[in-house]
Amino acid sequence: MCGIIGISKHKEAAKLAYLGLYALQHRGEEAVGVASFDGKDVNIKKDRGLIADNFKERDLDNLKGETAVGHTRYSTTGSSNVKNIQPFLVKHKKRSIAIAHNGNLTNTEELHQALEEQGSIFQTTMDSEVIVHLLARAKNGDIKKWFLEVLGQLRGAFSLVFMVEDVIVGARDPQGFRPLCLGKLDGNYILASETCAFDLLKAEFIREIEPGETVFIQADKIESIFLPNAKAEKKAHCIFENIYFARPDSNIFGDNVYQVRKRLGAALAKEHPVKADFVMSIPDSGNYAATGYAQELGMPLEIGLIRNHYIGRTFIQPTQFLRDFRVRVKLNPIRSVLEGKKIIIVEDSIVRGTTSRSRIEVLRSVGVKEIHMRISCPPIISPCFYGIDFPSKNELIAANKSIKEIADFIKVDTLEYLSREGMRSVMNNPKNFCDACFSGEYPVDIPKNQSKYLLEGVK
């Protein structure tokens, strides 16, 4: 999962990209980068870590030009190292191309092998670099035909922003796995993964880029083309975006994320009510489903854990050690609220189970009498190959344990999940969503080599 942004024809393009990435930081905390075009050269700054830690005022002053792209990384293909930080920049036939990619290609290995046999030399272990090599080998007289030829070879999930000198190109795969939105600022167009970036920039949200659509933006002009048969393809928006990843103040897939999460909580309450003193969430991603759950049952909603907001999102940390450390530092219980109480905890999901177990230990340590956990999605039983780091069934607790066994492992009195039917029932156009991580039903063929590190020789 990553955050991407593109700014067209603005004198503060790099600074706007920087601010937009602030709003999209939740989509990846491993690395960040911004590239700008000043009319002659591309200037780029990228590094490991958060946007606030890596960009100073002098860095932004050096990113001159009226066109910019930005990327915040959460690795789903390739190691978490410097060479894989985006935007990825190349120069071909005296023309600079920068790319920012959100999603995972499923035919990466096949394309990579074919390109190597044709003489391509790769600098990274990202699937995104494959796209750049395809662009370099395709005829590039007409930009629309050029991109159409290349994007038509890709399979899987891709929301893309390119900077081809002063042209911003945005593209979305035919299934529409990952969000990509079009906005307008000071008369010119911008692209971003989520609408929360537009809110921060005071930009107008125009619409979502449609599945299979590619847009070409130059200042205040925009042209659009579709991949052949794209409109006939079955849509497969990632349902986990609404459950966990997207910010609640964003509008994606034709709906507001906050409202979807409340509806998930209400559906969970109808399926799995339980008597307790109050409902609480695990901040922050569980807040909205907990609100819906409590409102549906007419129960009190309390805040029992205080989050340290200087600690990032736990799930998207690249190693288990970092995830465990951040769980311990991230949340502190309020003993006077919790001691001796029977509580219902509403969480958005359980992935590996270790984070949930650590949180329950914290609550038990302050004397909570009973803990009933309710999850606002079904058990995650299958890996994702479309841009979420669920790489192996071995890491998914629900793929290996029953609900009762999970409850015993995380040490709760009862545990219940929202049903698949209940989850899909609250979505806008439920037939248009991918829920493969809950069902094992993949809408696009999955790769033969399923390793996140497939381009590093790992099977």
State the Cα–Cα distance between residues 82 and 324, nearest whole angstrom. Answer: 24
The strand pairing partners of 43, in sequence order, are: 36
Q: Tokens standing for 167?
A: 């042209």
Q: What are the start-end ranges of the H helices in 331-439?
A: 335-338, 354-365, 397-400, 403-410, 420-425, 436-439
Q: Residues spanned by CATH 3.60.20.10 within the chain?
A: 3-236
Q: What are the start-end ranges of the H helices in 208-286?
A: 239-240, 257-271
- pLDDT at 78 (0 to 100): 59
Work out the percent of the chain whose per-residue pLDDT is above 70. 92
- pLDDT at 77 (0 to 100): 65
Per-residue model confidence as pLDDT tens digits over 278-288: 999 998 889 99
Residue 21: is its pLDDT beyond 60? Answer: yes
Residue 180: is its pLDDT beyond 70? Answer: yes
φ, ψ for residue 280, nearest 5 deg? -145, 165
Residue 141: is its pLDDT beyond 90? Answer: no
Per-residue model confidence as pLDDT tens digits over 369-420: 999 999 999 999 999 999 988 768 988 999 999 999 999 999 999 999 999 9
Confidence band, pLDDT 50/70/90 cuts, at residue 260: very high
The one catalytic residue in 2, 238, 434, 437 is 2
Return the sign of the alpha-carbon dihedral for residues 395, 397, 398, 401: positive
Confidence band, pLDDT 50/70/90 cuts, at residue 156: very high
- CB 159, CB 386: distance < 8 Å: no
Confidence band, pLDDT 50/70/90 cuts, at residue 261: very high
Q: Residues spanned by CATH 3.40.50.2020 within the chain?
A: 259-442
- pLDDT at 33 (0 to 100): 97
- Identify the top-confidence range among 64-78, 296-310, 404-418: 404-418
- pLDDT at 392 (0 to 100): 84
State the Cα–Cα distance between residues 459 and 457, nearest whole angstrom. Answer: 6
| 3-236: CATH, from 3.60.20.10, 2.30.30.100, 3.40.50.300, 3.30.565.10 | 3.60.20.10
Per-residue model confidence as pLDDT tens digits over 200-254: 999 999 999 999 999 999 989 999 999 998 888 999 999 999 999 999 999 999 9
- pLDDT at 455 (0 to 100): 67
Across all residues in the chain, what is the average pLDDT? Answer: 92
State the Cα–Cα distance between residues 458 and 395, nearest whole angstrom. Answer: 17
In degrees, rounded to 5, the angle at the alpha carbon of residue 283 between the alpha carbons of residues 282 and 284 is 130
**259-442 fold:** Rossmann fold (3.40.50)
3-class state of residue 65 by DSSP: coil
User: Catalytic site residue 437?
Assistant: no
- pLDDT at 307 (0 to 100): 83
Residue matched to tokens 């805040």: 303
Counting every residue written for the chain, the total comes to: 459
Averaged over 59-82, what is the pLDDT? 86
- pLDDT at 317 (0 to 100): 56
Averaged over 69-96, what is the pLDDT? 84
Confidence band, pLDDT 50/70/90 cuts, at residue 137: confident
State the Cα–Cα distance between residues 111 and 386, nearest whole angstrom. Answer: 17
Confidence band, pLDDT 50/70/90 cuts, at residue 75: confident
Confidence band, pLDDT 50/70/90 cuts, at residue 452: low
Peptide bond into 284 cis (omega under 30): yes
- CB 174, CB 230: distance < 8 Å: yes
Strands 3-7 and 188-192: antiparallel
The strand pairing partners of 99, in sequence order, are: 88, 162
User: What residue type is 380 in one-letter code?
Assistant: I
Confidence band, pLDDT 50/70/90 cuts, at residue 171: very high
More confident site: 326 or 137: 137
State the Cα–Cα distance between residues 31 and 318, nearest whole angstrom. Answer: 11
Residue 41: is its pLDDT beyond 80? Answer: yes
Task: Provide the greatest CA pair distance for the chain.
Answer: 72
State the Cα–Cα distance between residues 237 and 233, nearest whole angstrom. Answer: 12
Closest by CA position to 248, among listed 238, 262, 236: 262
- CB 21, CB 3: distance < 8 Å: yes
Averaged over 58-87, what is the pLDDT? 88
Per-residue model confidence as pLDDT tens digits over 111-132: 999 999 998 889 888 899 999 9
Helix (H), strand (E) at residue 51: helix 51-54
More confident site: 144 or 77: 144
- CB 246, CB 256: distance < 8 Å: no
Q: How many CA atoms lie within 13 A of 188 on its CB side?
A: 19
State the Cα–Cα distance between residues 55 and 51, nearest whole angstrom. Answer: 6
